[in-house]
Chains A and B, each alone.
Chain A
Amino acid sequence: MQKKSSLTADIVVIGAGTVGAAIAYGLAGRNVHVLVLDGGDDDFRAANANFGLVWVQGKGMDMPAYQQLTRDSVDLWPDFSAELTDTTAIDLQYERNGGLSICLGEAEFEQQRAMLLRLHNQLGSAEPDWEMLDRGALTKLLPKALPGPDVTGASFGRRDGHANPLRLLAALHAGILRKGGQFRGGSIVHSVQTDGRGGFTIDFGTGRASAARVVIAAGLGSKALAAQVGLDIPIRPQRGQILVTERLEPFLPLPMSGLRQTREGTVMIGATHEEAGFDTSTTSGAAAALSATAIRCIPALSEATLVRQWAALRILTPDGYPIYAQSQSHPGAFATMCHSGVTLAAAHAALLADAIAAGRLPPSLDVFHQRRFDVPKAA
């Protein structure tokens, strides 16, 4: 029988999806000896199915700290993207020319305005980074994509943009290695235990790793692992389905929520929000509904051929916002999860990596501790 390999590191990051990889990339750049343990090919991998928006508008209702974190991350994105490309020579195809949320019908237009105004007031920032565009203004922005007759206008978010999420993931993995980190694929972690000396022993079947600290960023697999270090993480899967068209001449100059044209020319159409458990099947019902909405927005899309449809599972907390927590019973063990791994990647690689390297999450992240779900709800 083969002897189990034995590895050591300052910090072990469990999970190399967009969240774990961004944290590990940040740690490796801070002279931390980081070991990344990535799971199996058959694991649920939201990072491989992402839509690719780097997005602010509409996010963070009733959670101003999340609005702020999202803005901070999006403002870090240009430098983050440039540095990652310098390090790895992988172009993330990041564009930040603003983004649109198309409104169908008058009621939706007014709802969108009211929602963004409410978010704006909750954040209390001085300068709005969004505006409502009426149909005429929207049409001027889209000279090659006439909106359908039901389109009343759109909200335009100045900070919004998009990137290729697969290139981001590949660049993070390459960047971890380039900055001196260690990376092991196919290493499904079974147990995380204290080693009696203030550190941790992480068992991944074919081997074992010791580290002073451990970061659990294993997506939907995090719940079972976090429980071993005294963290009760209430997460559930939520299915999202995405459609992709053949490659088309560039005609969408800006990404929209639910519709974006990639650098290669394909149009991604998304996404559903389904409570379907751990089921990554695609459905014809979703394909029909997504297509119908896309065609209502941009009727010319009816001429495009769909070439692919896929489904993946979001990692959702009860309020939909991230969890960043350090265990009280097992200091040095951190749990990090969210469903906006692309947008937040720049923040994860910077301020979250800083905090984990320092061994302490800053007060600004206190609101993201999962203890917020322990508070009994008032009537």
Chain B
Amino acid sequence: MFRKLHEPGPGALTITIDGVSVSAEPGESIAAVLLRQAEPWSRLTPVTQSKRAPYCMMGVCFDCLAEVDGVASVQTCLKPVCDGMRVVRQTGKRRIGALIA
């Protein structure tokens, strides 16, 4: 598991991952925060439902997709954290038009 080499310090901010508050440092990506969690995965694949975690960290592999502030399939390695951000792990295929179904 990954851990930070230093404490975020006074500038630390808070985001939630699946509703759980976690500490983050300004300027780091959501993916970096995900990798520090006890469960570092970001999503289950749409077809085989297997776990994926941030991998390339540079916008290429698309393994780090998660829902961020209601927007699904965000590449979390490319998105810096903001205070109060809500991150939700994705499980399988996304459903759209939920009100109909």
Contact = CB atoms under 8 A, between A and B. Distances in A.
A127 interface: no
Contacts of A146: 97, 100
B38 interface: no
A146 B93 CA distance: 19
Interface in B37-87: 46-47, 62, 65, 71-74
Contact of A247 (B74, B93, B97, B100): B93
Contacts of A144: 97, 100-101
Contacts of B73: 246, 305, 307
A373 interface: no
B95 interface: yes
Size range of the interface on A? 20 to 34
B96 A304 contact: yes
Nearest to A298: B97
User: Which has the most chain B C-beta neighbours within 10 Å: A299, A304, A305, A307?
Assistant: A305
A146 to B, nearest CB: 5
A246 B74 CA distance: 10
Interface residues of B, number: 16
Given A246-B72, A251-B101, A303-B72, A264 B46 contact: yes
B97 A300 contact: yes
B71 A249 contact: no
Given A248-B95, A249-B95, A305 B46 contact: no
A307 B73 CA distance: 9
A307 B75 CA distance: 10
B94 interface: yes
A102 to B, nearest CB: 16
Contacts of A359: none
Contacts, number: 56
Contacts of B71: 305
Contacts of A251: 95-97, 101
A307 B71 CA distance: 13
A248 B93 contact: yes
A145 interface: yes
Contact of B72 (A143, A298, A300, A305): A305
Contacts of A265: 46-47, 93
A32 interface: no
A303 B46 CA distance: 17
A301 interface: yes
Interface string A215-249: 00000000000000000000000000000001111
Given A246-B73, A303-B72, A145 B100 contact: yes
A116 B46 CA distance: 38
A264 B71 CA distance: 21
A303 B94 CA distance: 10
B47 A264 contact: yes
Contacts of A145: 97, 100
B51 to A, nearest CB: 16
A264 to B, nearest CB: 6
Contacts of B95: 248-249, 251
Interface of B: 46-47, 62, 65, 71-74, 92-97, 100-101
29 contacts: A143-B100, A143-B101, A145-B97, A246-B73, A246-B94, A247-B93, A248-B46, A248-B95, A249-B92, A249-B93, A249-B94, A249-B95, A249-B96, A251-B96, A251-B97, A251-B101, A265-B46, A298-B97, A299-B97, A300-B96, A300-B100, A301-B96, A303-B72, A303-B96, A304-B72, A304-B96, A305-B71, A305-B73, A305-B74
10 closest residue pairs by CB, A with B: A300-B97, A247-B46, A305-B73, A249-B95, A303-B96, A300-B96, A246-B73, A249-B93, A265-B93, A144-B101
